[in-house]
Amino acid sequence: MARILIVVVLSFGLGGLLASGAAVWPVPPGVAGALLMMLVALVVRRRWGLLADTAPGSPERMLWVSLAANAVVAGHLLAAMYHIGPTLVMHTPVVHALGRDSWTLVAGALLAYWIVRDPAPRADERDRAIASQGLRTAHYGLLTVLVVQILVLGFVHDGWVSQLSRPTIAHALILAIIASVLVDAIARLRAYALEAMASEADLHQ
């Protein structure tokens, strides 16, 4: 579980750093993030190749990519929205830059997925059961976030909530969807980790 949290924190932090302007990048932030994701994917693929039979299976590999990539995108979007403020307006230079960087990060995530993909994908009943568990957890997580958003938008009429523009609300909904994907990946990776720990404990008995 610690490894999962480390990946989430580091990836989320990278996304936030890309949007914060705190670092000076030789290329646009979205390009820098995409290149970093692909570089990490190459390193991870080599690492898993060295592990051979002990490397994660096909579904688990894709979950790690999904976890890291979506955390980067979420961190970038959340930080950008924070810096822009509640009155985000479409078709402005700042928002256009945000859009370019976001879509570049998505492209980088897809390329990272392609880099680390298993050339011979395989899944069994265990993988399908874990996938079902993850989707169920993500479903309830998404419902919870949406209920909170609905209550806030419907009943809070003061402060920054009253200033929210439609594009800001739309991007908040996008964040809710990304959050559900992250919950799915975390729940499934946790299930794999618990299963691996149980198997290791059985071997030492």
Each domain of the chain, given as residue ranges in start order, spans 2-203
117-158 pLDDT, tens per residue? 877 777 778 888 999 999 999 999 999 999 999 999 888 888
Q: Mention every residue, 6+ apart, whose C-beta is less than 8 A from residue 97.
A: 28
Please compute the mean of the pLDDT values over residues 78-91 and round it to a whole number: 82
Q: Is the pLDDT of residue 43 over 60?
A: yes
Question: What pLDDT score was predicted for residue 205?
Answer: 61
Q: Mention every residue, 6+ apart, whose C-beta is less than 8 A from residue 164.
A: 86, 87, 153, 172
- Contact at 8 Å (CB) between 48 and 61? yes
Alpha-carbon distance 15 to 13, whole Å? 5
- Contact at 8 Å (CB) between 18 and 29? yes
Sign of CA dihedral 182, 184, 188, 193: positive
Q: What are phi and psi of 9, to 5 degrees?
A: -65, -45
Angle (CA) 31 35 41, round 5°: 145
Check residues 59 and 112 and name the one with the higher pLDDT: 112
User: Tell me, what amino acid is at 82?
Assistant: Y
Question: What pLDDT score was predicted for residue 22?
Answer: 56
* pTM greater than 0.95 (yes/no): no
Question: What pLDDT score was predicted for residue 186?
Answer: 95
